[in-house]
């Protein structure tokens, strides 16, 4: 059996009363998704229930199944839309979620975490994880410890819950670039693959080197001072995957859609660029659901680095008290 899995993820920057052009952008995002070939969509920062319900109704003819992950005071901002039946859902809230006195950042009030939608396609199971890790608001990065712990918690959750699935996808704004400690924790402990890895790109892949998804010079909301230093921006929004040994996967397309402006407007779809991944999946007849699991022995260096980093941050904070 073969089928095409086409994933889309976007941080929608949908904060009521704060995000610029929110209503027009939500409508434009919905119109794009209605005519696209994506069969699974993961959105972040959909903070308004009204916006979620609007998107849900607008896409009901093409992506009839959806779920919004309610959490905390404001909601997690995470939602998933699917062409196929969502069989089960679960939300894993992180134990560390910013500071309550940082009201303008909002992470504590959102009760953020990672959402899981288990989707059934024929007799196969797809685990779709949608998440949004804590942002780095400035160079001092007082939230580094939060993000590292969130990354570890996410990777453990994916690692523990992915065994029944034939394919596992983690999509969202991870606020961490390839090579960063948080990114290595997520990919190594959960055995997740980055499609940008040149070793897995096939000859038939339609793929252009992806640019940064945040602070990109092509985005109308990017800070000119930041883009002047790094025009390509940072690649912090990702679609990562893991497949069972009974699956053969070919990456057909990996790109940043919606890089252009909203039609008829002078602003972008969001302050982040979207990411999409198209993969051709072929199943063998044998339903071998066993997959190699991660090993802390194999990734000792990464785990030790994370522990040392958290201890150093704790000592710095303690010395300032």
Residues involved in catalysis: 272
Strands 275-283 and 247-255, bridge-based pairing: antiparallel
Residues in the chain: 321
Q: In what order do the strands lie in the sheet with 40-46?
A: 65-68, 79-82, 40-46, 2-14, 275-283, 247-255, 206-207
Q: In this structure, what is the dihedral angle of CA atoms 309, 313, 315, 320, given to the nearest 10 degrees? A: 160
Rounded distance between C-alpha atoms, residue 227 and residue 287, angstroms: 48
Helices marked H in the chain: 22-35, 49-58, 107-110, 144-161, 181-189, 224-229, 300-319
Bridge partners (DSSP) of residue 10 are 43
User: DSSP per residue over 18-38, as a string?
Assistant: TSTTHHHHHHHHHHHHHHS--
Residue with tokens 């992950």: 69
Residue 282 is given by DSSP the state: E
R_g (Cα) of the chain, nearest Å: 19
Beta-ladder partners of 80: 42, 67
CA distance 64 to 116: 17
């Amino acid at each position: 059996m073969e089928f095409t899995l086409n994933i889309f993820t976007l941080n929608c920057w949908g904060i009521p009363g704060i995000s610029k052009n929110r209503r027009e952008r939500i409508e434009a995002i919905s119109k794009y998704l209605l005519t696209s070939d994506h069969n699974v969509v993961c959105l972040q920062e959909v903070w308004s229930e009204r916006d979620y319900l609007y998107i849900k109704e607008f896409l009901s003819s093409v992506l009839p199944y959806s779920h919004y992950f309610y959490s905390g005071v404001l909601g997690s901002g995470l939602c998933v839309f699917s062409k196929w039946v969502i069989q089960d859902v679960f939300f894993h809230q992180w134990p560390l979620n910013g500071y309550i006195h940082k009201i303008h950042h909002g992470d504590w009030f959102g009760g953020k975490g990672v959402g899981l939608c288990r989707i059934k396609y024929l007799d196969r199971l797809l685990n779709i994880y949608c998440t949004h890790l804590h942002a780095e608001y400035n160079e001092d990065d007082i939230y580094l410890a939060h993000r590292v712990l969130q990354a570890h918690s996410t990777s453990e959750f994916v690692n523990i819950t992915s065994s029944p699935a034939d394919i596992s996808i983690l999509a969202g704004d991870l606020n961490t670039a390839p090579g960063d400690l948080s990114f290595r924790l997520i990919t190594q402990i959960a055995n997740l693959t980055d499609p940008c890895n040149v070793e897995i790109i096939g000859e038939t892949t339609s793929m252009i080197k992806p640019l940064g998804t945040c602070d990109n010079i092509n985005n109308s909301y990017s800070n000119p001072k930041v883009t002047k230093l790094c025009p390509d921006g940072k690649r912090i929004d990702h679609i990562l995957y893991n497949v069972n040994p009974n699956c053969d996967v070919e990456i057909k397309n990996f790109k940043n859609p919606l890089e252009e402006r909203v039609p008829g407007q002078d602003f972008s779809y969001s302050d982040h660029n979207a990411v999409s991944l198209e993969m051709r999946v072929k199943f063998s007849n044998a339903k071998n659901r066993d997959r190699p699991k991660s090993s802390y022995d194999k990734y000792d260096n990464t785990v030790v680095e994370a522990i040392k980093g958290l201890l150093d941050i704790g000592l710095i904070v303690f010395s300032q008290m």
